[in-house]
Structure 1
Amino acid sequence: MIQAFKILGWLEGASFLTLLFIAMPLKYMGGNPALVKSMGPIHGFLFIGYVLFANFLASELRWSGKTRVAAFLAAVLPFGTFWFERKHLKTEKA
């Protein structure tokens, strides 16, 4: 289960970074909103999945309140999901 969460976190983080650093500049500086239109819903789906999965794992693994908050903040910060995996999931058994 943790391995699936790590994969989901990687996908969510990658989609967020793609939106921030590729799609948004193309839209606002290049006048081409196509990538935002296609990546936006994909990222939204991955974001919701990440938050729901984090909530489920927090209950199952009895994460502390601090770890729960870190998991949810990781979803909204650039590079956050990658940081969360290294910091909080490194010690969990896959």
Structure 2
Amino acid sequence: MFNQPLKLFRGIGYAEGISFLLLLGIAMPLKYFMGMPMAVTIVGALHGGLFVLYLAVILYVTIVKRWSFLKAILAVISSVIPFGPFIFDARLVKSSEA
């Protein structure tokens, strides 16, 4: 998979995006409305690990594929917006890079 950096980036991006949506849409409501803080502990830790991995893969792809600084920054910004990684991925595919 490391010989295909964009596939790696897209896979980690999807996993990070899904974990963020699970954190916001399921774990946090369970914590604040149902009194179940363990959900945020588990999903939050999973999301945190995937977030750090996503940032590392952005750096890796930026170096290997010679992404512009702007593209790398947009990838980072997309990671903190709900549905952001999916939108960034769609634009990446549309630009026929993936």
TM-score by length of 2: 0.88
User: Quick one: distance in 1 between partners of 2:7 and 2:68?
Assistant: 20
User: Is 1:64 paired with 2:68?
Assistant: yes
CA contact (8 A) 2:13 2:54 kept: yes
TM-score by length of 1: 0.91
Using the TM superposition, give the Cα deviation of residue 33 of structure 1 relative to its aligned residue in structure 2, in angstroms. Answer: 1.1
Identity of aligned residues (%): 40
Q: When the two structures are aligned, how many residues end up with a matched partner? A: 93
Using the TM superposition, give the Cα deviation of residue 43 of structure 1 relative to its aligned residue in structure 2, in angstroms. Answer: 0.6
Match of 1:28 in 2: 32
User: Quick one: distance in 2 between partners of 1:59 and 1:32?
Assistant: 42
Amino acid at match of 1:70: L
Amino acid at match of 1:8: I
- Large movers: runs of 4+ above 3 Å: none
User: Is 1:86 paired with 2:93?
Assistant: no
Identify unmatched segments of 5+ residues in structure 1: none
Using the TM superposition, give the Cα deviation of residue 65 of structure 1 relative to its aligned residue in structure 2, in angstroms. Answer: 2.0
User: Is 1:49 paired with 2:57?
Assistant: no
